[in-house]
A and B are shown apart, each in its own frame.
Chain A
Amino acid sequence: MSRRHVWSARFACGALLLLGGCIASNVVARNERMVVATVAELQFAPAPSLPLAGLYESLEITGDAAIALRKVYYLFLADGAYAAAWLTEPDGKPGFQTGNGTWTTSAAGLSLDGAEPVLLEQAEDHLRITAPNGVLVLRRGTVQ
């Protein structure tokens, strides 16, 4: 091998190393492999006098209610009425159920159909309703 070829090989190796250095390692850290919900970043505060009217869809359901519920929609009307739909999956067959009634808010929280009030909190365009058997995080939507 001539001296010229040796220098060419050295130059190629150096270029490859430089090129490799330009491409950084992109290994996902072990503790970042799991999909993380963004709801945890919201800062909720009690909102007893929140103007509740509007459409909401659930972002997260936790607690025992999450075993049966897959999705929840609430339409709160300004006149104190509400309509709701909830998605369940009994025996693996998804289906919506619907209901309606009345809502009121007080210092104690949100009361549906005159039942015991539950804690109502809000973050930006979000609600969090804490019931004895589950917590529901809702995001405000629009009625088309």
Chain B
Amino acid sequence: MVRKLLSWLGGLFVLALCASAVFALVVVKDRIRLVVQLDQTAAGPDPAALLRDDVAMLQRDLGELRTALGGNFERLGTALEERAETRHAAAQQEVQQLARAVASLQQGQDGLQAVSARLLAKADAIERDVAGVAATVARSAAAAAADAAAIPSPLAEPPKPAEPQPVAVPPVEAAPAPVPATATPGSQPAAKKGSFLSFSVPTAKFEFDQPHDYVLVPELCRVGFDAKSTLHDFTGVTSKVKGQFHADFDDPSGAWTGEVECEAKTLVTGVDGRDTSMQEHLDTAQHPQIRFAIGKFEPGAVDAAKQMADGTIVGTMTIRGQTRDVRMPVKISVDASRRVVVEGQMPLKISDYGVPVPSQLGGTITMQDEVSVWIALRARITTGATK
């Protein structure tokens, strides 16, 4: 009985389970569909389809790009070709201009050669003319001499018998002989032009044993005197010197001329009070210049090779308006700048020139009457000066 009951209960339980399952299926059927639909949406379209679509789009873009690039390349090529043609044309023009310039230069060279040839021809003609004139003059002189011999002179002195004239005049020829290249008497050779670095300057050689005109270089000149006094010795000196001279160091006759002068008031001794006193004694207000006039030069030893000489300059010295004859032994040399250096010294009594001998404190302090006058001069050749 129990077994039957349990069988019935089991059967009922199974039925209940089935019924519950059916009921649950009915209840949740829609939700289950909804979940399935959402999953399909999230998965998206078919990747293969998308890939095909992308490939198709890329093919289209590639086609468009190829089209666009092809046009641009064509335009770029065209532009490059145009530019190359322009450059080519410009280069051709430049070449043509250069060719014209070269042709012009060649023409100029030809013209210069022609001018040069004409000038040479003219020079030859002038030489022939000069030779002809010289011959004519010589012939005329000979004829005049012959006439003078034939016609008696109106002067009281009886005419001398005409001496036979040597036949020194060459016969005039149709083609005269060339004139020698010597300059005419009295003319000076033109200064040649040389170069120093980039300069074109007259070439001048310093010839120690030749006469020249010289001018002092004030910046490089000093004159002065050495004096002795009771207390101490001192030097008066000035650089305010100017002058010029004509000299020939090798000339035994010593025919020099020239003058050197200095500003008396510019003499300084290093002590202001003494300078003032010196100017008063020299009376610089009335006699501002101290002047040395060169009369002649008595040469001693002269070494032209070493460009050195010594001797005595004879001249006159003018101080405070008084002029006296003086003789100054000098040494002469030449420095690296081809300037003549003249150094000399001589004793001189200031009282001879009317200069009061300075004395202080009633004669307690006195200066010696005799001073030693000296010169230290540099002079350069006057360029272009005549000998």
- Which residues of chain A have a CB within 8 Å of any CB of chain B? 13, 16-17, 19-21, 23-28, 30, 33-35, 37, 60-69, 72, 82, 84, 86, 88-92, 97, 99, 101, 112-113, 115, 118, 129, 131, 133-136
Interface members, chain B 236-289 (any A CB < 8 Å): 237, 239, 269-271
Task: Check B234 for interface membership: any CB of A closer than 8 A.
Answer: yes
State the CA gap A27–B234 with chains docked (Å): 5
User: What's the minimum C-beta distance from B95 to chain A, rounded to whole angstroms?
Assistant: 27
Within the complex, which residue of B224, B230, B232, B269 is in contact with A33, where a contact is CB–CB below 8 Å?
B224
State the CA gap A129–B198 with chains docked (Å): 12
Q: Which residues of B contact A89 (CB under 8 A)?
A: 382-383
Chain B contact residue count (CB 8 A cutoff)? 50
- Whether A133 and B194, one on each chain, are in contact in the complex, defined by CB atoms closer than 8 angstroms, is yes
Task: Check B32 for interface membership: any CB of A closer than 8 A.
Answer: no
- Whether A68 and B224, one on each chain, are in contact in the complex, defined by CB atoms closer than 8 angstroms, is no
Task: Check B341 for interface membership: any CB of A closer than 8 A.
Answer: yes
* Chain B residue with Cβ nearest A129: B197
Segment at the A interface, from B55-63, B121-129, B167-175, B199-207: B199-207
- Whether A91 and B338, one on each chain, are in contact in the complex, defined by CB atoms closer than 8 angstroms, is no
Task: Check B191 for interface membership: any CB of A closer than 8 A.
Answer: yes
Q: Which residues of B contact A91 (CB under 8 A)?
A: 382-385
State the CA gap A24–B239 with chains docked (Å): 23
- Whether B197 and A34, one on each chain, are in contact in the complex, defined by CB atoms closer than 8 angstroms, is no
Q: DSSP majority for the A interface?
A: mixed
- Whether B235 and A27, one on each chain, are in contact in the complex, defined by CB atoms closer than 8 angstroms, is yes
Q: Which residues of B contact A33 (CB under 8 A)?
A: 222, 224, 237, 343, 374, 376
- Given A27-B233, A91-B382, 19 other A-B residues pairs in contact with their CB atoms under 8 A: A16-B231, A20-B365, A23-B231, A26-B235, A27-B234, A33-B374, A34-B343, A34-B376, A35-B222, A35-B376, A64-B203, A66-B336, A66-B339, A82-B198, A91-B384, A91-B385, A92-B384, A113-B198, A133-B196
Within the complex, which residue of A24, A88, A112 is in contact with B197, where a contact is CB–CB below 8 Å?
A112
- Whether B201 and A68, one on each chain, are in contact in the complex, defined by CB atoms closer than 8 angstroms, is yes
Task: Check B219 for interface membership: any CB of A closer than 8 A.
Answer: yes
Instruction: Mark B172-210 against chain A: 1 for CB-CB distance below 8 A, else 0.
Output: 000000000000000000010010111111111110000
User: What's the minimum C-beta distance from B249 to chain A, rounded to whole angstroms?
Assistant: 16
Instruction: Mark B139-181 against chain A: 1 for CB-CB distance below 8 A, else 0.
Output: 0000000000000000000000000000000000000000000
- Whether A27 and B226, one on each chain, are in contact in the complex, defined by CB atoms closer than 8 angstroms, is yes
Within the complex, which residue of B202, B233, B239, B364 is in contact with A25, where a contact is CB–CB below 8 Å?
B233
Q: Which residues of B contact A129 (CB under 8 A)?
A: 197
